[in-house]
Amino acid sequence: MTVPPIYGLVLTGGRSSRMGRDKAALEYGGRAQADRAFDLLSGFCERTFVSARADQAELPGRAGRPQIHDVIENGGPAAGILSALRTHPDAAWLVLACDLPFLTGDVLAALVEQRDPARAATAFQSGNDGLPEPLCAIYEPAFLPVLEAFLAGGFKCPRKMLIQLGLPLLRLPHAAALDNVNEPAEFDAAAAKLQPLAVTVRYFAALREKAGLESESIQTLAPTPADLYRELSARHGFTLAAGQVRVALNGAYAPMSTPLSEGAELIFIPPVAGG
């Protein structure tokens, strides 16, 4: 059996009723969180889509992106997952809520690495209540009939579906990585915590040509070079995976997981070919 490819889905169809404004457009470090979620997912997925209601198609965070519109009304996040699985039933879907400001690429990397395609889904255990985290999870093609049966029975909470499946749950790399933000006061607190860093990135050889730049100074929320590389890959179309490049941080090779600091200078090193 071949393992289904992973497609990404950013959920933006929520009504944001508690927030009082469209959550997808909320900005951290100057970037709308739906855009950030899309970039993060793109680094791990063969194709990435935005899940939205049809009447949201032209809104920020959705416009100009490949979209999958809900095929049922008032289905909540389950409607987005259902619509994606029906549109591309041969793909596994890495589904991501758009309102996870503390999510970093290493969490998605851990999810993808520990994915078990033999099960209907792969999910983390919540750092808060120990229950499955349904909105940063991988749903395999085998999840579609399960989901349809739950919906037919009147269940539409994906968390309850995952509980019923009795999956072994993965441990989160950081307990707060999937804390979501639903209310204005939570947003203010998260935005205060997430201050972007100014860093300079220099490019050489293949990356220089691909980016069309010798260097750039950017503001980023990426906590590590690995996360920053994935962010830049989404922006510049780098094809090498984060695992294939090394980094020089402030003039010396360093692990890709080293915490970034203000003013850092980075050089991403594709496989070298001297001699």
Partner 1 sequence: MFLLSSEALDPAALRQRLQRPDAGALTVFEGWVRNHHQGLAVLSLEYEAAPELCQSEGDRLLADARAQFDILDVLVAHRTGHLAIGDIAVWIGVASGHRDTAFAACRFLIDEIKVRLPIWKKEHYARGGATWIGAE
152/273 with CB nearer partner 1: 273
Asked if residue 254 binds partner 1 (CB under 8 A), the reply is no
Smallest distance, Å, CB 250 to partner 1?
Answer: 10
Asked if residue 275 binds partner 1 (CB under 8 A), the reply is yes
Segment near partner 1 (CB under 8 A); pick from 20-28, 71-79, 131-139, 198-206: 198-206
Distances, alpha carbon 15 to alpha carbons 51, 75, 92, 228, in Å:
13, 11, 26, 31
Asked if residue 202 binds partner 1 (CB under 8 A), the reply is yes
192/252 with CB nearer partner 1: 252
Segment near partner 1 (CB under 8 A); pick from 7-15, 112-120, 130-138, 250-258: 250-258
Segment near partner 1 (CB under 8 A); pick from 16-24, 171-179, 203-211, 216-224: 203-211
Q: In whole angstroms, what separates CA 135 from the centre of its chain? A: 10
Touching partner 1, residues 218-247 (CB under 8 A): 239-240
Q: Which one among 205, 213, 241, 259 touches partner 1, defined by CB under 8 A? A: 205
Q: What is the 3-state secondary structure (H, E, C) of the chain?
A: CCCCCEEEEEECCCCCCCCCCCHHHCEECCEEHHHHHHHHHHCCCCEEEEEECHHHCCCCCCCCCCEEECCCCCCCHHHHHHHHHHHCCCCEEEEEECCCCCCCHHHHHHHHHCCCCCCCEEEEECCCCCCEEEEEEEECCCHHHHHHHHHHCCCCCHHHHHHHHCCCCECCCCCCCCCCCCCHHHHHHHHHHCCCEEEEEECCHHHHHHHCCCEEEEEECCCCHHHHHHHHHHHHCCCCCHHHCEEEECCEEECCCCCCCCCCEEEEECCCCCC
Q: Which one among 209, 212, 220, 223 touches partner 1, defined by CB under 8 A? A: 209
Smallest distance, Å, CB 268 to partner 1?
Answer: 10
Asked if residue 270 binds partner 1 (CB under 8 A), the reply is yes
Q: Which one among 206, 255, 257, 263 touches partner 1, defined by CB under 8 A? A: 206
Smallest distance, Å, CB 206 to partner 1?
Answer: 4
Query: How many chain residues bind partner 1 (CB under 8 A)?
Result: 21
Distance of alpha carbon 138 from alpha carbon 46, whole angstroms? 14
Q: Which one among 142, 191, 248, 254 touches partner 1, defined by CB under 8 A? A: 248
Total residues belonging to the chain? 275
Segment near partner 1 (CB under 8 A); pick from 14-22, 46-54, 91-99, 249-257: 249-257
Binding site for partner 1 (CB under 8 A): 202, 204-209, 239-240, 248, 251-253, 267, 269-275
